[in-house]
Amino acid sequence: MPVERVRRSTDEWEAVIGAEVRAARIAANLDQSELAKRADISLGAVKNLEAGKGSTLKSLIRVVRALGRTEWLESLTPPITVSPVAMLSSKRPATRTRQRVSRRRATVNHED
């Protein structure tokens, strides 16, 4: 599924994900009851997911795994290639030697 820069509502995302799950299930030549059995969830959960009527995250993960499409999940958590600390450091201006406020020392007059 190509990345789209469209702002969608939660209901729209549920419908899009449901359609993707349904297409993957059909491509795998599975009916809803077989997918439910393989994912170890209820048939109603599969129907709700595909219809865009909501589902738990756990059910979605089980269905995605049962369909052999874990790359969908992996795409949500790409590996970190750059340290966040290094990114912050690179945005800061070059480090300069810290200058401290110097106080003039009072000269002590030692008259003997």
- Reported as a single tens digit per residue, the pLDDT across 27-76 is 999 999 999 999 999 999 999 999 999 889 999 999 999 999 999 888 88
Question: What type of residue sits at position 80?
Answer: I
Amino acid type, 52: G
pLDDT above 60 for 7: yes
pLDDT score for 73: 87
pLDDT of residue 111: 61
How buried is residue 102: exposed, middle or buried, by Cβ count under 10 Å (0-12/13-18/19+)? exposed
The reported pTM is: 0.64
17: pLDDT strictly greater than 90 = yes
For residue 112 the two structure tokens come to 């003997």
* H/E segment holding residue 63: helix 57-66
Rounded to 5 degrees, what angle do the CA atoms 41, 73, 18 make? 55
To the nearest whole number, what is the mean pLDDT of the chain? 84
Among 74, 45, 68, residue whose Cα is nearest residue 57:
45
The residue-averaged pLDDT of 10-22 equals 93
